[in-house]
Amino acid sequence: MTRTTADARQADVIVVGAGPAGSSAAYHLAEAGVDVLVLEKSAFPRDKVCGDGLTPRAVRQLVAMGLDLDAPGWQRNVGLRIVGAGHRLELPWPELAAFPPYGMVRTRLELDEILARHAQKAGARLTERTSVTGPVLDERTGRVVGVTAKPVDDRGRRAGDDETYTAPVVIACDGVSARMATALGLERRENRPMAVAVRAYHRTPRHDDPWMESWLELWAPKAQGPGRQLLPGYGWIFGVGDGTANIGLGILNTSKAFQHVDYKDILRRWLSQTPPEWGLTEESLVGRVGSAALPMGFNRKPHYTRGLLLCGDSGGMVNPFNGEGIDYALESGHLAAETVVQALARPEGPAREHVLNGYRGALEAAYGGYFTLGRVFAKMIGNPVFMKQATRYGLPHTSLMRFVLKLMANLTDPHDGDVSDRVINALSRVAPAA
C-alpha cells in the first residue's frame, strides 16, 4: 500500500528502538494485525556490547517467533560449565516442559538484524537512522501521543530536521539510556543493582565448544612481586562458532571495585591466565574491546504511564542473578504487544487505560519477587568473603549446583515441576515485589 508522507508518520503503535525488546514487540503486534512503526537510530547491521549468550529462556521466545534455529550461524550449547575454586563443573540445561533443553549463541551484530527483519516480514514498518529525541504530549491530558525524531547519518550526526510521528500508544525499547522514560520523569532507582560488562571477541580453536563457560573467580599474577591476586568480577567464554568466542567480564556495583578499576586491563590480565587450549592472547583479539552498563532488577518504574510502556533495558529488566537481558527483553516485548493488542480493542478512554495499566501488574507477577531475590543475591556476592566460601564449598556438590543453575537462570516449570522448581517458585511468590 502506498502511503503519503503524513500517513507514514502515523501508526497504531510506535516502537522506539529495534533491539530484541523492540523487535519482539513489533513482531507480535504485526502478527496480530496492528499497524506498528519501529524507529531505530542506527542502520543494520549494527553491534551492541553483550555476552551474546541465549539461555533456554531466550530460546523459548525465538521458537515462539518462528525463527529457524537450525539455520547456519546459530551456535547451540548444551549447558553451563562453571569454573572456580579449582573445580570445573558441567551442568546441562534442565529438562523442563516450559523451556527447551538447549541454549544458543549469536552475535548481537547478527541477532538484532535477524529479529528486526523478521518483524518486518510480519508486517512491521521499520525506519532506520531515525533517532528519537523525546515524546510528544497531548497538551490537555499530558498523555504520550507520539515522538519527535531526527534523521541521522551513519555516524549518528543530524542529517535533517526533526520530524513528528504519532500513535495512541508508544513502546519504549531504547535501552539503558531510557530517554523516553527520563523525559517523563522516570528516573533510575539508586537502590537497584547495576553492573558494567566488558566484552571482546577472540579467535580460538574452541570456538564451537558446546558449553557456555562461566568463571566465578578471575586470577592473575600480582602487578608487583610473586604470587597471584584475585581480580574483581566474574567472567565468561561463549563460543560463537565462527572461529571466535565472546569473552568478557562483569562487575556489580555491590563490589568495592565498581567504577574504580581499569576494566579492560582486568580482562587482559585474566585472559593471560586462561587455559592454553583456548589460545587467548593479545594477538587473538578481533576488533575492539567494548563496555556497557547493565540496568538490573526493575531499576526504572512504573513500566506503564500515560500511554508509554517500557520494555527491556529501558525498564531495568536485566536479571540480577546472572546479567541476562535478552530473554527479558524478548519476553517483555511479547507481553507489551499482547497488552496493547487488547487495549486497542477497547474504546479510547478509561477502558483502554485500564488494560494498559495491567502491563505493570503483569510484569510484577512475572518477575517482581524473583528480581527481589536477585537483588539480595547481588549484595551477597559483592562480598568477596561470602563468594570465596560459596565457591569453595558449593561447587563440589553437583545437586546443589543444579539447583543454583535453575535459580540463577530462572528456569523452572510453573506446574508439575520437581522439588527444586517448587522451592524456587515459592521463594519468588513470597518475596516482596521488586
Q: What is the pTM of this model?
A: 0.96
Q: At residue 122, what are phi and psi to the nearest 5 degrees?
A: -75, -15
Query: Mapped to the 3 state alphabet, what secondary structure does 232-246 carry?
Result: CCEEEEEECCCCEEE
Q: What pLDDT score does 3 carry?
A: 66
Per-residue pLDDT of the chain (434 residues; tens, 9 = 90+): 456 666 889 999 999 999 999 999 999 999 999 999 999 999 999 999 999 999 999 999 999 999 999 999 999 999 999 999 889 999 999 999 999 999 999 999 999 999 999 999 999 999 999 999 999 999 999 999 999 999 999 888 999 899 999 999 999 999 999 999 999 999 999 999 999 999 999 999 999 999 999 999 998 888 777 888 888 899 999 999 999 999 999 999 988 888 888 999 999 999 999 999 999 999 999 999 999 999 999 999 999 999 999 999 999 999 999 999 999 999 999 999 999 999 999 999 999 999 999 999 999 999 999 999 999 999 888 777 787 788 887 888 899 999 999 999 999 999 889 999 999 999 999 999 87
Inter-residue contact 170 to 16 (CB < 8 Å): yes
Q: What pLDDT score does 433 carry?
A: 84
Distance from C-alpha of 116 to C-alpha of 194, rounded to nearest angstrom: 27
Inter-residue contact 134 to 179 (CB < 8 Å): yes
Q: What pLDDT score does 138 carry?
A: 96
Angle CA 167–344–61, to nearest 5: 90
Amino acid symbol at 23: S
Q: What pLDDT score does 68 carry?
A: 97
Class of 5-70+106-189+298-374 in CATH: alpha beta
DSSP 3-state assignment of 231?
strand
Q: What pLDDT score does 6 carry?
A: 64
Strand partners, 147: 135, 165
Distance from C-alpha of 88 to C-alpha of 270, rounded to nearest angstrom: 17
Quick count: other Cβ atoms within 10 Å of Cβ 46? 17
Burial of 80 (0-12, 13-18, 19+ CB in 10 A): buried
Q: How far is CA 340 from CA 23, 37, 196, 413, in A?
A: 15, 14, 33, 27
- Provide the residue ranges of all domains of the chain, joining segments of one domain with +: 5-70+106-189+298-374
Q: What pLDDT score does 189 carry?
A: 93
